[in-house]
Amino acid sequence: MTLKRTKIVDINAPELVGKQVCVKGWVRTRRGNKHVQFIALNDGSTINNLQIVIDLAKFNEDDLKPITTGASLHVEGLLVESQGKGQSVEVQADMVEVYGTADPDEYPLQKKGHTLEFLREKAHLRLRTNTFGAVFRIRHHLAFAIHNFFNDRGFFYLNTPIITGSDCEGAGDMFQVTTLNINDLPKCENGCVDCSKDFFGKPTSLTVSGQLEGELGATALGAIYTFGPTFRAENSNTPRHLAEFWMIEPEVAFYDINDNMDLAEDFIKYCVKYALDHCKDDIEFLNKMYDDTLIERLEGVLKESFVRLPYTEGINILEQSGKKFEFPVKWGVDLQSEHERYLVEEHFKRPVILTDYPKDIKAFYMKQNDDGKTVRAMDVLFPQIGEIIGGSEREESYEKLISEIERRGIPMKDMWWYLDTRKFGTVPHSGFGLGFERLILFVTGMSNIRDVIMFPRTPNNAEF
Ligand code: 4AD
Ligand code: MG
């Protein structure tokens, strides 16, 4: 009878001790002497390796030669309590089958402690390291937490289109989608590209946000959230920007900005708590290896309520800080990461929700305040990260929205379907977007966003 495979994450069960077990995985290390060999086996289910003990009296040495770092194995043997330090159980192997070898002259992950830069060049294999195993298990658990959070609160998961004809943020940072031959473009009489000959018969791009469609959902189903890939062709080469990233965008009818802030705060705290509860081994590993203040920082976020502060007051604090910033601050400027981090890490020492930004540095759809200068925007600013969430109460007045669209010169005919939300049964509503990779950065304590997504897309880089 063939033995059923046990995942290494499940191997510590007391009822398995003293039984024959079957395990499968990849060799992390092999060491030993003439009499006994020890293999650290990992199958990806947990950060913890399982020790396989090979008594050389029972094996032919030549058969063991292909067992090198990276090779894949099928092992059967007796599970016993371990005599060695660092693990509670180990397998005394009776049978070892090598599925696939990994030539030590070629397999790049030989030693421990490769740099993150080196591993970025081996991104197709880096999931097999402790660090990336931990990061990607945490990424999974956070995705799960997000669906749980919204599902528990009666939000509906809405899948908005990836290919779109509209620019939600109005920033023009969009990747064009075309099937035209770019070396031989059809032209109109006036010399412009004839997009009517393109696949969709009009210009299209990859979406920068699902919000506009999300608003259609919210004003019909009441409360929705999106969770999907978004694309930005901004030339930002920073540790916090990707050209392709995942965003979660809840949108809720009848919510004002205060409800929106409550939701954002509850949401992030839920995710952080979920990770602490479900990813203990992985977070402890990252805390030990990279940043021994990680767990403290995560627990800190749970304890304190977020500061809620108007932009204008934030600018006052920055101006009076006496600090020399690379980008000088004055009312009207968009905040840079250094400003956001000063407020969070040095001034308040806890997360800050900054509200009521100048309208000219925010998108067209935000609700206008009575002062005529600011809009009901809210950015959630986090330690180490800066902006983790951007959102707002939405302008529900048809007239005010139209005049803002005109003022900005946004092509009205592309917006007709969106404007219908304000024309037919308009309601106050609010929403926000959380950058998934920025949340993962915070929870893992990693410092570069390229290390929390499988294959990062950044300017001049779409390898793999
Ligand atoms: O502030 P943003 O641009 O807001 C929107 O897109 C709104 N439509 C959201 C909404 O109200 N429904 O982006 C939202 C969040 C940011 O706070 C940040 O966390 C993340 O998305 N983000 C990025 N993450 C990685 N790389 C980039 N280039 C990002 N740009 C934004
Ligand atoms: Mg923003």
Model confidence pLDDT, tens digit, residues 135-165: 999 999 999 999 999 999 999 999 999 999 9
Most confidently modeled of 85-99, 170-184, 264-278, 412-426? 264-278
- Lowest mean pLDDT across 61-65, 215-219, 296-300: 61-65
Share the mean pLDDT of the chain: 96
Give the pair of three-digit tokens for residue 50: 């399982």
The pLDDT tens digits for 10-57 are: 999 999 999 999 999 999 999 999 999 999 999 999 999 999 999 999
The pLDDT tens digits for 239-286 are: 999 999 999 999 999 999 999 999 999 999 999 999 999 999 999 999
Question: How far does residue 433's CA lie from ligand 1's centre (Å)?
Answer: 6
What's residue 51's pLDDT?
A: 97
Quick check: 438 pLDDT over 90? Answer: yes
When pLDDT is averaged across residues 316-324 and rounded to a whole number, the result is 95
Question: How far does residue 336's CA lie from ligand 1's centre (Å)?
Answer: 14
Quick check: 406 pLDDT over 80? Answer: yes
Residues 263, 381, 391, 155, CA torsion sign: negative
Ligand 1 binding pocket includes 437 (Cβ within 6 Å): yes
When pLDDT is averaged across residues 90-104 and rounded to a whole number, the result is 97
What's residue 85's pLDDT?
A: 76
What's residue 113's pLDDT?
A: 82
- Lowest mean pLDDT across 323-332, 350-359, 409-418: 409-418
User: For residue 243, which atom of ligand 1 is closest to its CA?
Assistant: 28
Q: What is the DSSP string of 107-171?
A: -S--SS---HHHHHHTTTTGGGSHHHHHHHHHHHHHHHHHHHHHHHTTPEE----SEESS-TTSS
What's residue 168's pLDDT?
A: 77
Question: How far does residue 197's CA lie from ligand 1's centre (Å)?
Answer: 33
109: Cβ–Cβ under 8 A, 6 or more apart, which residues? 69, 70, 122, 125, 126, 128, 129
When pLDDT is averaged across residues 94-123 and rounded to a whole number, the result is 94
- Lowest mean pLDDT across 188-197, 372-381, 445-454: 188-197
Q: How far apart are CA 121 and CA 91, in angstroms?
A: 35
Only one residue has tokens 């990994």, namely 102
When pLDDT is averaged across residues 305-321 and rounded to a whole number, the result is 97
User: For residue 241, which atom of ligand 1 is closest to its CA?
Assistant: 26
Ligand 1, atom 19, lies closest to the CA of 435
What's residue 413's pLDDT?
A: 85
Give the pair of three-digit tokens for residue 380: 């959630």
Ligand 1, atom 21, lies closest to the CA of 435
Candidate of 255, 362, 438 to mutate for ligand 1, largest count of ligand atoms within 8 Å of Cβ: 438
Quick check: 166 pLDDT over 90? Answer: no
Ligand 1 binding pocket includes 232 (Cβ within 6 Å): yes
Q: How far apart are CA 18 and CA 14, in angstroms?
A: 9
Q: What percent of the chain has pLDDT over 70?
A: 100
Q: 194 pLDDT band (50/70/90 cuts)?
A: very high
363, 364, 365, 370: CA torsion to nearest 10: 100
Identify which has the larger pLDDT, 239 or 411: 239
Candidate of 173, 245, 352 to mutate for ligand 1, largest count of ligand atoms within 8 Å of Cβ: 245
Question: How far does residue 33's CA lie from ligand 1's centre (Å)?
Answer: 55
User: For residue 236, which atom of ligand 1 is closest to its CA?
Assistant: 28
User: Which amino acid is located at 220 in the chain?
Assistant: A
Quick check: 1 pLDDT over 80? Answer: no
Q: 87 pLDDT band (50/70/90 cuts)?
A: confident
Q: What is the DSSP string of 269-336?
A: HHHHHHHHHH-HHHHHHHHHHT-TTHHHHHHHHHHSPPEEEEHHHHHHHHHHT----SS---TTPPPP
What's residue 334's pLDDT?
A: 95
- Assessment of whether the complete model's pTM goes beyond 0.95: yes
The pLDDT tens digits for 102-116 are: 999 999 998 778 999
Identify which has the larger pLDDT, 168 or 338: 338
Tell me how crowded residue 122 is: count the other CB atoms within 10 A of its CB: 15
Question: How far does residue 389's CA lie from ligand 1's centre (Å)?
Answer: 7
Give the pair of three-digit tokens for residue 11: 């191997």
What's residue 169's pLDDT?
A: 81
450: Cβ–Cβ under 8 A, 6 or more apart, which residues? 120, 239, 242, 456, 458
What's residue 411's pLDDT?
A: 86
Residues with CB in 5 Å of ion ligand 2: 390
What's residue 412's pLDDT?
A: 84
Ligand 1 binding pocket includes 133 (Cβ within 6 Å): no
